[in-house]
Amino acid sequence: MNETYAIAIHGGAGALSKGKLTPEQETEILSVLSTMVEAARQHLAAGESALNVVQQAVRSLEDCPWFNAGHGAVLNSDGGHELDAAIMCGHTLAAGAVSGIRFSPNPVDVARAVMENSEHVYLGGAGAEAFARAQGLPQVDNHWFTTPLRRQQLDTAKAVEAVILEPTASDYKYGTVGAVALDRKGHLAAATSTGGITNKKFGRIGDSPVIGAGTYANDLTCAVSATGHGEHFLRHVAAHNIAARMQFGGQTLHAAATAVVFEDLPSTGGEGGVIAVDARGNLVLCFNTEGMYRGWGNYEQSAQSRIYED
Ligand code: ASP
């Protein structure tokens, strides 16, 4: 086994203007992120697979009400929750994804079950829910995901909508979680989970569960998890775009990720960011929004976490 390993996690990107969070809230979020990175580092150091580590990290992020995934996910226009998640193994290119599920506390676990125990990659809606039940995965009432903050954000979004058809204030719209890792066998993995965007309608699905858009991993290049305005990440096939720039254009991870985040996405008005790791353990965490909840660490650097630009 190699000595090298690396992990990065995110809790969403958006207009996280300084001053919106109290200093105590900031400290708590940063400490939550660092604790999760440190746990992931220990597992990687012990030889755990990147796939298991990203699943575990995303599960912890889903369980944390600060983030828009699992408990604490945003509300759709009907006042309910529809959750999306994906996981991908860079070694085998196996992948699992679900969208529009309403009763699974940890959607990333359902995505992993799709990958391991079905012959498919992507299950949606009622079928994905039936699969989760058949797998014996835990079920909760849809209201279990709701927090007072998300209820208030839906009320705000609906109020804004009454006068502006396309709200531009993005702070209450984003907040997906994700993780990418390189393990000591040299394998990469990525996972992403989200409640989507506040006030979403008509069964809207974003980039997070779409392999190549919001989630991608390939040992040949990199593992990527995205966050931001999903429609743009879909149109730019953002995560695979980064891998393709490396594989076919010879770009470094840094050049590829920054080109997508600072050139491609903004060319259509896309806001957000990505976390990415390559097969040598280089990490990139970049965003074109005011902030992105993020944490990282590797075989020689203990856990770091940030919200805004450095
Ligand atoms: N990308 C997610 C989506 O569009 C939202 C987010 O990252 O916060 O569903």
13-59 pLDDT per residue, tens = 876 666 678 889 899 999 999 999 999 999 999 999 999 999 999 99
In a domain, 308, yes or no: no
Catalytic residue, chosen from 22, 147, 168, 176, is 176
pLDDT of residue 161: 63
pLDDT at 109: 98
How far is Cα of residue 227 from the mean position of the Cα atoms in its chain? 6
Closest by Cα among 95, 83, 50 to 216? 95
Q: Whose CA is nearest to atom 7 of ligand 1?
A: 227
Instruction: Report if residue 117 sits inside a domain.
Output: yes
Nearest Cα to Cα of residue 107 among 80, 88, 128:
128
Predicted pLDDT of residue 17? 62
Is 206 close to ligand 1, i.e. is its CB under 6 Å away?
A: yes
Q: What pLDDT score does 21 carry? A: 80
Residue 136 belongs to a domain: yes
In 200-292, where does DSSP find H-type helix?
230-235, 238-249, 253-259, 265-267
Ligand 1 pocket check for 194: Cβ under 6 Å:
yes
Which domain does 290 fall in, by range? 6-297
Q: What is the C-alpha to C-alpha distance for residues 124 and 139, in angstroms, rounded to an integer?
A: 16
The answer, yes or no, to whether any atom of ligand 1 lies below 6 A from the CB of 227, is yes
pLDDT at 221: 98
Q: How far is the CA of 49 from the centre of ligand 1 (A)?
A: 26
The Cβ of residue 203 has, within 10 Å, a number of other Cβ atoms equal to: 11
Is 302 part of a structural domain of the chain? no
184-205 tens-digit pLDDT = 999 999 999 999 888 888 899 9
Burial of 140: CB neighbours in 10 Å, binned 0-12, 13-18, 19+: middle
Residue 307 lies in a domain: no
Of 58, 98, 194, which is best to mutate to test ligand 1, by the most ligand atoms within 8 angstroms of its C-beta?
A: 194
Residue 180 located in a structural domain? yes
Domain-embedded: residue 310: no
Q: Which position has the token pair 């079905």?
A: 118
Residue 242 belongs to some domain of the structure: yes
CATH number at residue 220: 3.60.20.30
147 in catalytic set? no
Stretches where the chain sits below pLDDT 50 are 162-170, 172
- pLDDT at position 147: 87
| CB of 176 sitting under 6 A from ligand 1 | yes
Instruction: Tally the domains of the chain.
Output: 1
pLDDT of residue 165: 32
**Closest ligand 1 atom, CA of 214?**
1
* Atom nearest to 230 CA in ligand 1: 4
